[in-house]
Chains A and B, each alone.
Chain A
Amino acid sequence: SQQGEEDPQALSIQEGENATMNCSYKTSINNLQWYRQNSGRGLVHLILIRSNEREKHSGRLRVTLDTSKKSSSLLITASRAADTASYFCASDNTDKLIFGTGTRLQVFP
C-alpha cells in the first residue's frame, strides 16, 4: 500500500496547549497537504507545502517538510476546543492524493 502513516493515532490535550502531529509518506511528492475532518463530515483543506519548501505557516498552523526523511509535521498552536477533529496528511505525487492514516485530536476546554 502507498498509504502514509501518522502518529500519534490519537492525541488529547487541554485548550491552550500545542498539538503536534507527524506524518510519513512513501513516494516522491510534488507537495504535501494537510486536511481536517470533523466527525461525520467531509475533508477540509488546511495547508499545502511544496516539495522545495521546508516550513510554512498559516495562522495557528505550522507545517514542516523533510523530503530526505519523507516526513512532515503539523503544529497547531494555542489549541481550542473547536480544533477537535481528525487530521490527515496527503502526499501529492503529480496526479493523485494518497492519505495518511490520520490523527484524532481531542482538545478539552
Chain B
Amino acid sequence: DAGVIQSPRHEVTEMGQEVTLRCKPISGHNSLFWYRQTMMRGLELLIYFNNNVPIDDSGMPEDRFSAKMPNASFSTLKIQPSEPRDSAVYFCASWGLGGYTFGSGTRLTVV
C-alpha cells in the first residue's frame, strides 16, 4: 500500500480564493482525520469521519471550512474563501488495522 496520499503537496493561493485539499486513505481503513499544524497552535484535529460519516467537526475553525468523504477512498477539505491565517500544513490520517497512518501533508500558503 502506498500509504495515505495527500494532494497537492504545496499550494499557494491568493486571499479570497477557494482551496481544496485531497486525501486518499489506506484501503480498508474506516476512519479518516484532518489535522492542521501551525507554529502557534500545534497539531489541531479539525474533523474526523467513521465509515465515511462525519463524527466530530468541532475542531473546524469556522464556516469557511468544510470537509466531505463521498466514499471510502477519498476525502476533501475545502476552504472558501481562504484567508492568510489559514496558512498551515494540513495533514490527513487514516485509522484501521495497524493503527494510525499519516499522509505527508499539504503546505498551504495564502497570500
B111 at interface, CB cutoff 8 A: no
CA distance A43 to B99 in the complex (A): 13
Q: Please determine whether A97 and B100 come into contact, CB atoms closer than 8 angstroms.
A: yes
Q: Please determine whether A33 and B104 come into contact, CB atoms closer than 8 angstroms.
A: no
Interface string of A70-106 (1 = CB under 8 A from B): 0000000000000000001000000111111110000
**Across-interface contacts of B93 in A (CB, < 8 A):** 43, 97
Q: At the interface, is chain A mostly helix, strand, loop or mixed?
A: strand
**Across-interface contacts of B91 in A (CB, < 8 A):** 42-43
CA distance A42 to B91 in the complex (A): 8
Point out residues on A near B: beta carbons under 8 Å. 3, 33, 35, 41-45, 48, 88, 95-102
Q: Please determine whether B104 and A95 come into contact, CB atoms closer than 8 angstroms.
A: no
Q: At the interface, is chain B mostly helix, strand, loop or mixed?
A: strand
Interface string of B52-92 (1 = CB under 8 A from A): 00011000000000000000000000000000000000010
Q: Please determine whether B45 and A98 come into contact, CB atoms closer than 8 angstroms.
A: yes
**Across-interface contacts of B55 in A (CB, < 8 A):** 95
Question: For residue A100, which residue of chain B has the nearest CB?
Answer: B42
**Across-interface contacts of B105 in A (CB, < 8 A):** 41-42
CB distance from A90 to the nearest CB of B (A): 8
With A3-B42, A101-B42, A102-B42 known as contacts, the answer to whether A95 contacts B100 (CB < 8 A) is no
